[in-house]
Amino acid sequence: MNLEYSEEYVAFRAEVREFLQGWPLTGDEAQLPVHEQEIRFRRRGIERGYVYRNFPRAYGGSEQTPDVLRERIIREEYAEASAPGDSAGQGPSMLAPTLLELGTEAQRERFIAPTLAGEISWCQGYSEPGAGSDLASLQTRAELQGDEWVINGHKIWTTTAHEADFMFGLFRTEPQAPKHAGISYLLVDMKAPGIEIRPLREMTGASMFNEVFFDNVRTPAENIVGKRGEGWQVSRATLKHERNLIGDPNFMRRAYLSLLQLARDTTRNGRPAIEDPSIRQELAQIEGFFMSLEYTGARLLTATARNEEAKVILPMMTMKLYGTDLRQRITRLALDLLENRSLIAPTEEEGSHGAPEGRPGTWTADYMSAIAISIAGGASNIQRNIIGERALGLPRDLRTPK
- Contact residues toward ligand FAD (CB under 6 A) are 123-127, 132-133, 157-159, 209, 372, 375-379, 381-382, 385, 397
Closer residue to ligand FAD in complex, CB, 27/395: 395
Closer residue to ligand FAD in complex, CB, 298/372: 372
Put residue 126 in one of left, alpha, beta given phi > 0 → left and psi -120 to 50 → alpha: alpha
14 Cβ contact list (under 8 Å, min separation 6): none
Closer residue to ligand FAD in complex, CB, 49/132: 132
253 Cβ contact list (under 8 Å, min separation 6): 76, 79, 290, 294
Cβ count within 10 A of residue 227 = 12
Question: Distance of CA 335 to CAs 85, 144, 360, 364, 379, Å?
Answer: 30, 52, 8, 7, 24
* 256 residue type, one letter: Y
Judge if the upstream peptide bond of residue 360 is cis by omega within 30 degrees of 0.
no
Q: Nearest distance from residue 352's CB to ligand FAD, in Å?
A: 12
Give the whole-angstrom CA distance, residue 313 versus residue 241.
Answer: 11
Closer residue to ligand FAD in complex, CB, 158/258: 158
Q: Nearest distance from residue 184's CB to ligand FAD, in Å?
A: 15
Select the residue whose beta carbon is closest to ligand FAD and give its number. Answer: 132
Closer residue to ligand FAD in complex, CB, 45/182: 182
- Asked if residue 148 lies in contact with residue 75, where contact means CB atoms within 8 angstroms, the answer is no
- Asked if residue 361 lies in contact with residue 341, where contact means CB atoms within 8 angstroms, the answer is no
- Asked if residue 360 lies in contact with residue 338, where contact means CB atoms within 8 angstroms, the answer is yes
CA-based Rg of the chain, rounded to a whole angstrom? Answer: 22
| DSSP letters spanning 335-372 | HHHHGGGGGSPPPHHHHT-SS--SSHHHHHHHHHHHHH
Question: Distance of CA 134 to CAs 239, 343, 394, Å?
Answer: 14, 36, 20
SS3 274: helix
Closer residue to ligand FAD in complex, CB, 99/283: 99
> Measured on CA atoms in the order 39, 40, 44, 45, is the torsion positive or negative?
negative
Closer residue to ligand FAD in complex, CB, 158/173: 158
Q: Nearest distance from residue 89's CB to ligand FAD, in Å?
A: 11
Q: Nearest distance from residue 374's CB to ligand FAD, in Å?
A: 8
Question: Distance of CA 381 to CAs 123, 284, 290, Å?
Answer: 24, 27, 21
Q: Nearest distance from residue 162's CB to ligand FAD, in Å?
A: 12
Give the whole-angstrom CA distance, residue 306 versus residue 32.
Answer: 40
Give the whole-angstrom CA distance, residue 236 versus residue 179.
Answer: 15
Closer residue to ligand FAD in complex, CB, 61/378: 378
* 97 residue type, one letter: P
Q: Nearest distance from residue 108's CB to ligand FAD, in Å?
A: 23
Q: Nearest distance from residue 398's CB to ligand FAD, in Å?
A: 8
Q: Is 242 tagged catalytic?
A: yes
Q: Considering the candidates 77, 242, 282, 350, report the single residue annotated as catalytic.
A: 242
Q: Nearest distance from residue 371's CB to ligand FAD, in Å?
A: 8
Catalytic residue numbers, as ranges: 242
